[in-house]
Amino acid sequence: MLLLGSAVFIAYIGFPLLQSATANLLSHMLTKEETGVGMGLFNLCNFISGAFSSAIFGSILDLEGMTFSINPLNANGDHAIYSNLYLVLSVVAVFALFMFFAFYNRSKKA
């Protein structure tokens, strides 16, 4: 239980830090004329994506009878849906990090 609580604590601390760092990066990349609209669009996208992702992940977790696991570290069982979802989210996060570094380094060179 302590390990789970520690992981949740780190995740809840990490999200606001990442969001504020992203907003700071965005405000420095935009021109003075684009900053207001850009920051508003950034906050709108964060709000909408948070609402939609919660609904989608909740719907996925409500699927019953899923016992097939795509995660090689997890055996088949009742908790396979959680393992599959977290594996897919981890792949998406690594892909997003790769794309960020690719586009950020390209925009720095230009």
> What pLDDT score does 69 carry?
80
Predicted confidence (pLDDT) at residue 30 exceeds the cutoff of 80: yes
Sign of dihedral through CA atoms 9, 95, 104, 39? negative
The percent of residues above 90 in pLDDT, for the chain, comes to 22
- How far apart CA 105 and CA 103 sit, in angstroms, is 6
Predicted TM-score (pTM) of this structure? 0.67
Give the distance, in angstroms, between the CA of residue 42 and the centroid of all CA atoms in the same chain.
14
Instruction: Please name the residue that has the structure tokens 């999200």.
Output: 15
> What pLDDT score does 76 carry?
67
> What pLDDT score does 51 carry?
92
Per-residue DSSP letter, 101 = H
